[in-house]
Structure 1
């Protein structure tokens, strides 16, 4: 009966917040078993279909790959015309730290090739949040918008990638809303791991909109290729709600693929196709 109640309760939860049947007994497992359980949960990232969620897009679904191609083409365009252009990655907590790591490594690669370093990162709470938890700024959409505006001052072409694994962070929602209001300058990308209809619908502080509103507007603009939503479903986390696990891994895989594909197209004349991006993903995943 308790299991039935739990199942009924979980029907209303976003995928990123559900419990995973694979890891339901992880609290009773010994260390070797825990590693095997975590390995099986991580393997779901790369499955073509999630067993109990067969209708959701996955990492290798055609629409997801095509969106990665479209975003990589925007990276290529910015790298070919770097004057007054910028690529910005932003997130809260672990997502912001991954943004920092990706920007640092990508800029180092550009520097080694004597190219302009055109990537910036934003993390809610500023650089102190790279090492310590600072949760209050994560809930402030206005702060997110102001920080983005400051970083992009004077730029005329900005690719903005907002990372929110659960499609829920107010800080990122504020930034995406700012981009949507300035599509003459910004191409916004939302990276998360829930379907759009599961994005957070609670009101945010000092805001007339919620994250779901922003996600739906992003999806609408994607039809005109003015904004993009990258949201493959990875299955539930090994530890319920810990989106820094599968979500963190998939964030790194997706963004490394997109940035490298754009770079190779710009400087090595690689042809940007879904097949090329798919093979690049395979190279990162070592499968």
Structure 2
């Protein structure tokens, strides 16, 4: 059966790169870099749709739902990458953000190309994580037509979950199904059809926006500091100390003492420093304000 790809922007030949195999290494690198600059402009055009998707994610997570990324190949790997970074960066684990890739964990390190066609597997994978109408699913597919992603979207809609799509083509199949379609049109790839390049870069940047924007609105960031990070290694412990110093103006030794007293919970240490309260009171104040540091300080008239 013929798969109709000839109308997709991502499958067109790029007239600017047809002589790439004749270029010097430096010329080749500069050409790829010039092409990548189109990614920024393409994302700018999609910012209203990205913002709408962020607001939808926030509403679902505030009500106890989850953000679930779904994709195959590069798209799936990027979803897994973004989801896995939410725990160390924002203190948010799979209870709130997770990702599924066609072919399972093996597909993270090895090509499992046939997995993208397995529509039933998408349903089984989502059933295994107990997808419900409380959740919001983000289907990622450069072509906008990957069967695994399409099936996941349809199943999510059937259950009443909210849905986002992220594609690199216009009028995408997944975009016609999703509640919040995002289409970032980066044009023809440097190497024809190699969507790990511009399309993949665009996906990574949009996923950064989705997760970061969501966590900012959920109060996981104070000023521009990741105050809900999990300090699980020496680098992150040191980062936590520096954040308390930057947020409060206290000295390094005092910040270290407060962090230790707060079990290395940065938010609590900041509130302890700025309001001169103990750890128990800091946690009470944060709980009363949904964990938002700025709201705690506003009530104390310190913003």
Same fold (TM > 0.5): yes
> How do 1:1-287 and structure 2 match up within 5 A?
12-47=6-41, 58-61=42-45, 64-82=46-64, 85-111=65-91, 117-153=95-131, 155-183=132-160, 186-196=161-171, 199=172, 212=173, 215-218=175-178, 227-267=179-219
Cα shift at 1:215: 3.8
What is the deviation of 1:182?
A: 2.1
Q: Note the alpha carbon deviations across 1:8-63, whole angstroms, 9 max, x for none.
A: xxx9521100111221110111211110110111111123xxxxxxxxxx3212xx
Structure (1 or 2) with the greater helix fraction? 2
Structure 1 residue runs of 4 or more that deviate by more than 4 Å after TM superposition: 114-117
State the SS of the aligned residue for 1:255: helix
Q: 1:92 to 1:217 in 2, by over 3 A?
A: closer
* Inter-CA distance 98–115: structure 2 relative to 1 (3 Å threshold): closer
Q: Kindly state the Cα deviation for residue 152 of structure 1 after the two structures are TM-superposed.
A: 2.7
Q: Which residue of 2 aligns with 1:209?
A: none
| CA–CA distance in structure 2, aligned partners of residues 71 and 182 of structure 1 | 19
Structure with larger Rg = 2
Contact preservation (8 Å) 2:58, 2:217: yes
Q: Is the 8 A contact 1:23 1:41 kept in 2?
A: no
Count of aligned positions: 218
Q: Are the counterparts in 2 of residues 89 and 120 from structure 1 also a CA contact under 8 Å? A: yes
Tell me the distance in 2 between the aligned counterparts of 1:98 and 1:269: 23
User: Conserved in 2, the CA contact under 8 Å of 1:74 and 1:262?
Assistant: no
Q: Is the 8 A contact 1:75 1:263 kept in 2?
A: no
Structure with greater contact order relative to length (CA < 8 Å, sep ≥ 6): 1
Any unmatched runs of 5+ in structure 1?
A: 1-10, 48-57, 200-211, 219-226, 271-287
Q: Distance in 2 between matches of 1:116 and 1:233?
A: 30
TM-score by length of 2: 0.67
